[in-house]
């Protein structure tokens, strides 16, 4: 099992870990669900994504 970690920078420049969660599988569907959950939490279009 892998661990998914999302780090981000707020508009005011503060940086921090936004999400830490287990990654049970790596599939297109699991990433779609994950990114949808980030949008529901208020994520705007990111400048960069590193997978």
Look at residue 50 and tell me if it is in a domain.
no
User: What's the pLDDT score for residue 46?
Assistant: 75
Look at residue 47 and tell me if it is in a domain.
no
Give tens-digit pLDDT for 14-41. Answer: 999 988 999 888 889 988 998 899 889 8
Q: Could you give the number of structural domains in the chain?
A: 1
Q: What is the pTM of this model?
A: 0.66
Instruction: Please give the torsion angle defined by the CA atoms of residues 11, 34, 48 and 43, in that order, rounded to the nearest 10 degrees.
Output: -20
For residue 50, pLDDT beyond 80? no
Look at residue 49 and tell me if it is in a domain.
no
Lowest mean pLDDT among 5-14, 21-30, 42-51: 42-51
- For 9, the domain range is 2-40
Look at residue 45 and tell me if it is in a domain.
no
Residues 6+ apart with CB under 8 A from 14: none
Look at residue 35 and tell me if it is in a domain.
yes
Look at residue 48 and tell me if it is in a domain.
no
Look at residue 26 and tell me if it is in a domain.
yes
């Amino acid at each position: 099992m892998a661990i998914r970690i999302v780090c981000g920078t707020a508009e005011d420049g503060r940086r921090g870990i936004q999400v830490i969660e287990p990654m049970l599988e790596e599939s297109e569907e699991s990433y779609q669900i994950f990114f949808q959950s980030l949008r529901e939490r208020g994520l705007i279009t990111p400048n960069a994504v590193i997978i």
